Amino acid sequence: MTTTAAPATTTPVVGFDQVTKSYGDVRAVDGISLRLHPGQTVALLGPNGAGKSTTLDLLLGLKHPDSGTVSLFGGTPREAIAAGRVGAMLQSGGLMDEVTVAELVKLGCSLHPRPYKAADVMARAGIAQIADRKVNKLSGGQAQRVRFALATAGDSDLIILDEPTTGMDVSARQAFWATMREQADQGRTVLFATHYLEEADAIADRVLVLHRGRLLADGTAAEIKAKAGARRVSFDLEGEIDGTALRALPFLTSIDISGQTVRIQSTDADATVHAVYGLGVYPRNLEVAGLGLEQAFVAITEAEEAKQS
Amino acid sequence: MNALIKLELARALRNKKFLFFSVLYPTSLFLIFSSSSGSGEKVDGTGLTVATYLMVSMASFGALTAVLMGNSERIAKERESGWVRQLRLTTLPGRGYVFAKIASAAVVSLPSIIVLFIAAAAIKHVHLDAWQWLALTGIIWAGSLVFAALGVAIGYLATGDAVRPITMIIYFGLSILGGLWMPTTTFPKVLQDIAKWLPTHAYAALGRAIEQSQTPSTTDVAVLAGYFVLFAGGAAWLYRKDTLKA
């Protein structure tokens, strides 16, 4: 497991030390240790049910770990939140209804020790034009942006976002991430959970891969992509199949030959396909496809387990 | 926290249904109930005219409505919607949410009491000394805190679906059995015995003692104080349980 280098002298923004949390028999978070350092933009990447939301809840002190310790800025989550150092937007975070968007954002600003102007907060979140609308009349995407406005109502050092673009269309997504990058460029630490590898790749300078409550990988987006970015190559061959030659193809992570059909997983599909032609065979029905994220996680898990054993 | 109280209040004052039920409804009931009896008619064993007697009952009922109805339902629904969680991610201290709810209810319950008193004095010619009016307002307003605590407890106990019927049953049960709608002396013996121990009965009895220029009975004060400890303690316990679970 690679760790992004950071100065050892600074107090980590987020510290997890051997944290576990179970619901009945299910280990939602299973022994996670990690440190986030100031100024990093970090993606918490994992499929649904990987433990992302539980991890964020633990981090924010909304849930308490069964064992291990969680710290924010060297203190408890509640201390950091009470000092206004954290702005957070959760999937499960509701909004006060029967009030207008502007009233709610103003409330958010007045609850922050270093507030921004409500008008600026709304403009940045792209909700200025719906300022007078009642909160209970908003679409899913609009409500998400109001949540984002509440998370950025003041000058916080750490911003936590749990699947922030859920319910947004493509253009809203792009606008959202542009705003988010501004926040990160001002030196804030940003931690966001997502199940889109592309989002993690485009935004984060560090990616934590979470699967079944465990931290599978921790590295730059490029490193994660190399691990998770395996592609699937499949084709049919006629006549006798030379299994030994196929197994020796470059960049293979797995191969399955059944009947005349060959299915390969490769970390560099272009090179693998090129080498197939190099064997002097003529593949038919050639298909190259990306792995779904779920399969990519399985691939990473297998790779990690193989490394450990 | 002031900002939250202000916004809670603005929301309550905008809610016409809530305002009707907590401010105008008790006054209307008072006028209807007291219209059937002559102005000189006394309620047995109290020395008070029917209008004077009913005024305290209905003022207590109005304050009860203002502090119990809105809050229990809002708290239960806002726990479910996640607004309570969202607030926990702000600098607002944990109890701030509950205090804002109680404070905004208290601001609505005061006009509910005063409107009724004005109607009683102007239309039903209820005569009391100045100190009695002030003491009545103070004691009914302060006593409503007991039921505000009950509202919070119900809000943390019930789910969003169940909260309305549960609140209704408790609200009407306490109002009617406690004698806010009609004197408990008209009840069968069994119900009278139950009524004696209800917080609403003790609540209205305090107000009535002021009307009669008497010292409130220690039993009534003790019953009301006991319920306050029970409801506030229960609300605090349920609140903490909810915080750990959320």
Confidence of residue A2 (pLDDT cuts 50, 70, 90): very low
pLDDT in tens, B33-75: 888 776 677 877 778 888 899 999 999 999 999 999 888 999 9
Query: pLDDT over 90 for what percent of chain A?
Result: 50
d(CA A120, CA A128): 9
Which of chain A's residues have a Cβ under 8 Å away from the Cβ of B95? none
Answer yes or no: is pLDDT of A141 > 90.
no
Q: Do B82 and A103 touch (CB under 8 A)?
A: no
Q: Could you say which of B11, B81, B86 has the minimum Cβ distance to residue A99?
A: B11
Which of chain B's residues have a Cβ under 8 Å away from the Cβ of A83? 91
* ipTM of the complex as predicted: 0.85
Burial of A205 (0-12, 13-18, 19+ CB in 10 A): middle
Please tell me the predicted confidence (pLDDT) of residue A179: 86
Answer yes or no: is pLDDT of A277 > 80.
yes
Only one residue has tokens 């298909």, namely: A287
- Nearest-Cα distance to chain B for A227, in Å, is 35
Q: Do A94 and B11 touch (CB under 8 A)?
A: no
Which residue, A105, A192, A190, A93, is CA-closest to A154? A105
* B146 or B69: which leads in pLDDT: B146
Average pLDDT for residues B210-232, to the nearest whole number?
92
Query: CB contact, 8 Å: A81 with chain B?
Result: yes
Please tell me the predicted confidence (pLDDT) of residue A8: 52
Q: How many CB atoms lie within 10 A of CB B239?
A: 19
Confidence of residue B105 (pLDDT cuts 50, 70, 90): confident
> Mean pLDDT over all residues of chain B?
90
Answer yes or no: is pLDDT of A1 > 50.
no
- Nearest-Cα distance to chain B for A284, in Å, is 54
Q: Do A94 and B83 touch (CB under 8 A)?
A: yes
Answer yes or no: is pLDDT of A226 > 80.
no
Query: CB contact, 8 Å: A256 with chain B?
Result: no
Search chain B and give the residue with CA nearest A147.
B86
d(CA A95, CA A241): 62
Please tell me the predicted confidence (pLDDT) of residue A268: 85
Answer yes or no: is pLDDT of A3 > 50.
no
Cα dihedral: A47, A49, A55, A57 (round 10): 120
Search chain B and give the residue with CA nearest A90.
B86
pLDDT in tens, A77-124: 999 999 999 999 988 788 998 899 999 999 999 999 999 999 999 999
Q: Do A107 and B92 touch (CB under 8 A)?
A: no
Confidence of residue A234 (pLDDT cuts 50, 70, 90): very high
d(CA B133, CA B210): 9
CA distances from A265 to A94, A126, A171, A254, A273 (A): 43, 43, 33, 5, 11
Please tell me the predicted confidence (pLDDT) of residue B94: 76
Q: What angle do CA B20, B25, B29 make, to 5 degrees?
A: 170
| Sequence spans of domains, chain B | 2-245
Average pLDDT for residues A151-164, to the nearest whole number?
94
pLDDT in tens, A43-73: 999 888 889 999 999 999 999 999 999 999 9
Q: Do A95 and B86 touch (CB under 8 A)?
A: yes
Which of chain B's residues have a Cβ under 8 Å away from the Cβ of A162? none
Search chain B and give the residue with CA nearest A101.
B7
Answer yes or no: is pLDDT of B108 > 90.
no
d(CA A294, CA A299): 9
Q: Could you say which of B3, B91, B244 has the minimum Cβ distance to residue A84?
A: B91
Answer yes or no: is pLDDT of A295 > 80.
no
Please tell me the predicted confidence (pLDDT) of residue A168: 81
Please tell me the predicted confidence (pLDDT) of residue A34: 93
Query: CB contact, 8 Å: B95 with chain A?
Result: no
